[in-house]
């Protein structure tokens, strides 16, 4: 069985995964699986967790459906979602991109989605702490994990950067991101309502 190149795009909600994956899939001629949409369309949502304002999916069933698509695809596959790093089997992954975004910029994006305050701050804290990078590095060898800081650039620029990396081996000039050291992060955390 020939496995096509598989690119996983993960990161905190609102970091631009779907926007960039859509552009990139056109550039690469790849199949794009947006996990949240795909799991609703195919009936893998088992519960609507109203309290946490999120959907619970059957990870086993979703994971095997995605594996099936990958194994049958003649095209490269992009799997996009904030739990994609936990869903695609490591040996299938060619490269995993963790999208990062300045938390003080991410806040506005999450607020325009009308998320609850709890959900906004849960995501901001996860981004500040680099939770998804940490999780990804526990599952995937670091040689396959690349953090992409999308802050201050357009989605086309981000897609082009990743395209150049995939097609031309052009390395991203980015160190591991640590928002904790930024004064803007401290200011953001000081604005956090203490009643959450
Ligand atoms: N450089 C960038 N790359 C991608 N998206 C960007 C960029 N700059 C701004 N955006 C904007 O960020 C917003 C969030 O993007 P998007 O919905 O793709 O995020 P997501 O990571 O897929 O979120 P979710 O996990 O909730 O699906 C969009 O309005 C998008 O246009
Ligand atoms: Mg998305």
pLDDT in tens, 50-82: 877 788 999 999 999 999 999 999 999 999 999
CB 123 within 8 A of CB 110: yes
Mean pLDDT, range 102-129, rounded to an integer? 95
Provide the number of structural domains found in the chain. Answer: 1
Structural domain contains residue 195: no
DSSP code, position 5: P
Q: Which helix (H) or strand (E) holds 136?
A: helix 131-139
Note the ligand closest to the C-alpha atom of 34: 2
Whether residue 85 is contained in a domain is answered as yes
Q: Please write the tens of the pLDDT for every residue from 120-176.
A: 999 999 999 999 999 999 999 999 999 999 999 999 999 999 999 999 877 766 667
What SS3 class is residue 42? coil
Residue 58 inside a domain? The answer is yes
| Sign (positive or negative) of CA dihedral 155, 149, 140, 85 | negative
- What Rg do the C-alpha atoms of the chain give, in angstroms? 17
Any idea what the CATH number is for the domain that residue 162 is in?
A: 3.40.50.300
139 in a domain, yes or no?
yes
- Distance between CA atoms of residues 152 and 73, nearest Å: 34
Q: Measure 5 CA to ligand 2 centroid, in angstroms.
A: 21
- Is the shortest distance between the CB of 78 and ligand 1 below 6 Å? no
Residue 49: the pLDDT is: 82
Domain contains 1: no
Ligand nearest to the backbone CA of 127: 1
pLDDT band at 48 (very low <50, low <70, confident <90, very high): confident
pTM score, whole prediction: 0.96
Does residue 196 lie within any of the structural domains? no
Binding site membership of 22 for ligand 1 (Cβ less than 6 Å): no
> Which domain does 176 fall in, by range?
6-190
Contact, 129 vs 19, CB < 8 A? no
């Amino acid at each position: 069985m020939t496995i096509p190149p598989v690119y996983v795009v993960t990161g905190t909600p609102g970091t631009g995964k779907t926007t960039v994956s859509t552009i990139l899939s056109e550039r690469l001629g790849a199949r794009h699986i947006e996990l949240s949409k795909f799991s609703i369309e195919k009936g893998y949502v088992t519960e609507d967790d109203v309290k946490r304002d999120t959907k619970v999916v059957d990870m086993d069933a979703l994971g095997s459906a995605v594996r099936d698509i990958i194994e049958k695809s003649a095209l490269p596959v992009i799997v996009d979602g904030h739990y994609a790093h936990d869903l695609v089997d490591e040996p299938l992954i060619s490269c995993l991109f963790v999208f990062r975004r300045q938390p003080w910029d991410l806040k506005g994006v999450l607020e325009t989605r009308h998320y609850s305050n709890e959900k906004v701050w849960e995501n901001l804290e996860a981004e500040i702490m680099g939770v998804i990078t940490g999780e990804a590095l526990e599952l995937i060898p670091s040689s396959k994990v690349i953090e992409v800081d999308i802050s201050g650039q357009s989605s086309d620029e981000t897609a082009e950067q990743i395209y150049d990396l995939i097609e031309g081996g052009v390395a991203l000039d980015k160190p591991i991101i640590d928002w904790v050291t930024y004064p803007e992060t401290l200011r953001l955390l000081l604005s956090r309502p203490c009643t959450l």
